[in-house]
Amino acid sequence: MVRRKNSSNSESIEGWNYEAKVIEIEGIIARIEAGELELEEVFDQFGKAVEYLRQCESFLQQRQQQVDLLIETLSDD
């Protein structure tokens, strides 16, 4: 089960998936680069991509903290 930290509060959201968000970001970028979107939609999609990137960054930071803690625990033994 993958959890992420919601940017608006500290509650975890079940079902969030890093790989799925990366695919969504790539899709948004591809549509923007292909010129498939109206200008207003470009801004909306860009905003979504930025939020997804923040979520991914938060997820990776949390996992890095977990790894660091595990390494520290192993080093203490």
pLDDT in tens, 16-66: 899 999 999 999 999 999 999 999 999 999 999 999 999 999 999 999 999
Characterise 35 by phi-psi region: left (phi > 0), alpha (psi -120 to 50), beta (else). Answer: left
Query: Could you tell me the two tokens for 75?
Result: 């080093």
When pLDDT is cut at 50, 70 and 90, the band that residue 75 belongs to is confident
The type of residue at 45 is: Q
Domains of the chain, start order: 3-76 (1.10.287)
Nearest Cα neighbor of 28 from 64, 56, 4 is 56
Q: Determine the Cα–Cα distance for residues 27 and 45; give it in Å rounded to an integer.
A: 10
Q: Determine the Cα–Cα distance for residues 29 and 23; give it in Å rounded to an integer.
A: 10
